[in-house]
């Protein structure tokens, strides 16, 4: 490890798709190159931290820098690939701004997957996954995570329940009451299901509660906005079972 390692905490941190190992050459895309060269003013010889969700975090040195292209060479692993507790957050899409905030914070709190779920009262039927994926990457870069949460295509609630994987607990945040999460927080693999701002319909609630993997949970006496409920539940679960 280089004597420069203690100074890495102040260096830029970027997500890349390339494999990372000693000597690996990485060419950044135009947006990342612009950020490093024009915003962060990185020059040949400067260090940058890279991660790809598979190989841990690596210290890489800029070998060439220009307005459109920056290339780097990986030198040493600055952090191992961290184990991620197997927690999914299944949440109804929200309006732009609020869903962006939810995605960012869910990544910071360490969810393994963010599964968007459309319901009868969902206000956004076609969430912009490309924009949300970019928010996940940015949040992972800034929070120090070595993994970016999975973000699959949104699923209708009916299909989510139909295809639910065996052995994964489904903690259903039911606004009409349930077991306190601190008592019901099943260990991984687990998932937390949060409804839309208007809540689930009676038929949807009945279908969820009838599912063999579902456990109705309560998040307290106050009425919470959907994004608040989601992050409160994730934080409690992580404190009990994950990295909290």
**pLDDT for residue 1:** 55
Residues of the chain with CATH 2.40.240.20: 5-79
For residues 55 and 20, is the Cβ–Cβ distance under 8 A? Answer: yes
Residues 6 or more apart whose CB falls under 8 angstroms from that of 115 comprise: 88, 89, 90, 91, 152, 154, 155, 160, 191
- Residues linked to residue 179 through DSSP beta bridges, in sequence order: 217
> In 3-state terms, what secondary structure has residue 81?
coil
Q: According to the CATH classification, is domain 5-79 in 1.10.10.10?
A: no
Give, for 13, the enclosing helix (H) or strand (E): strand 13-15
CATH 3.40.1280.10 given to domain 87-241: yes
My answer on whether omega of the bond before 189 falls inside 30° of 0, hence cis, is yes
Q: What is the pLDDT of residues 62-104, one digit of tens each?
A: 999 888 899 999 999 999 999 999 999 999 999 888 999 999 9
Q: How far apart are CA 111 and CA 62, in angstroms?
A: 32
pLDDT at 177: 84
**pTM across the whole model:** 0.91
Note whether 20 and 52 are within 8 A (CB). yes
pLDDT at site 2: 58
pLDDT computed for residue 74 by the predictor: 97
Cβ atoms of 230 and 196 within 8 Å: the answer is: no
Residue 98 to residue 55: CA distance in whole angstroms: 32
pLDDT lower than 50: segments of the chain: none
Q: What is the pLDDT of residue 3?
A: 61
Residues in the chain: 244
Distance, CA of 201 to CA of 174 (rounded, Å)? 11
How far apart (Å, rounded) are the C-alpha atoms in residues 48 and 30? Answer: 16
Q: Determine how β-strand 57-65 pairs with β-strand 47-51.
A: antiparallel
Q: What is the mean pLDDT of the chain?
A: 91
């Amino acid at each position: 490890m280089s004597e420069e390692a203690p100074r890495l905490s102040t260096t830029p941190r970027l997500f890349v798709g390339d494999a990372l190992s000693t000597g690996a050459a990485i060419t950044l895309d135009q947006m990342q190159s612009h950020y490093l060269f024009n915003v962060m003013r990185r020059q040949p010889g400067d260090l940058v931290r890279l991660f790809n969700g598979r190989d841990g975090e690596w210290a890489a040195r800029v070998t060439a820098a220009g307005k459109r292209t920056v290339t780097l060479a990986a030198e040493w692993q600055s952090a191992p690939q961290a184990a991620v507790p197997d927690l999914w957050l299944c949440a109804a899409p929200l309006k732009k701004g609020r869903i962006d905030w939810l995605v960012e914070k869910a990544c910071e709190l360490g969810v393994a997957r963010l599964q968007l779920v459309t319901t009868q009262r969902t206000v956004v039927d076609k969430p912009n996954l490309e924009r949300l994926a970019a928010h996940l990457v940015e949040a992972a870069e800034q929070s120090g995570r070595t993994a970016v949460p999975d973000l699959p295509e949104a699923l209708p609630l009916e299909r989510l329940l139909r295809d639910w994987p065996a052995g994964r607990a489904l903690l259903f945040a039911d606004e009409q009451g349930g077991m306190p999460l601190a008592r019901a927080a099943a260990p991984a693999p687990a998932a937390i299901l949060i409804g839309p701002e208007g809540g689930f319909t009676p038929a949807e609630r009945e279908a969820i509660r009838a599912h063999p993997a579902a456990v109705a949970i309560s998040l307290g006496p106050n009425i919470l906005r959907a994004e608040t409920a989601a992050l409160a539940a994730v934080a409690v679960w992580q404190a009990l079972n994950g990295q909290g």
